[in-house]
Amino acid sequence: MLGERSTKYPSVEGVGTYLALYNLGVFYESIGDKVCAKTMYERSSTIGFKRAMDAFHRLLEG
């Protein structure tokens, strides 16, 4: 389940949101599914993750 971290347990910012979406984009890109990769990068970038935004634009251009 994606979502913000709980205050009950220690966590790292972004693990349940933009980092998870970005990593899904990396996975999809690695298996050659550029459509799903773009979707995941775009979703991650709307949360403000610049690396995802860069990857999204790279796939749009290529």
What is the pLDDT at residue 48? 87
| Count of domains for the chain | 1
Residue 5 lies in a domain: no
Residue 53 lies in a domain: yes
Residue 3 lies in a domain: no
Total-model pTM: 0.78
Residue 6 lies in a domain: no
Residue 1 lies in a domain: no
Residue 25 lies in a domain: yes
Of 32, 28, 62, 31, the closest CA to residue 44 belongs to 28
**If the chain, 62 residues long, is cut into consecutive pieces of 10 residues, what is the mean pLDDT of each piece?**
60 72 97 98 93 97 88
Orientation of helix 18-30 relative to helix 50-61, angle to 10° = 30
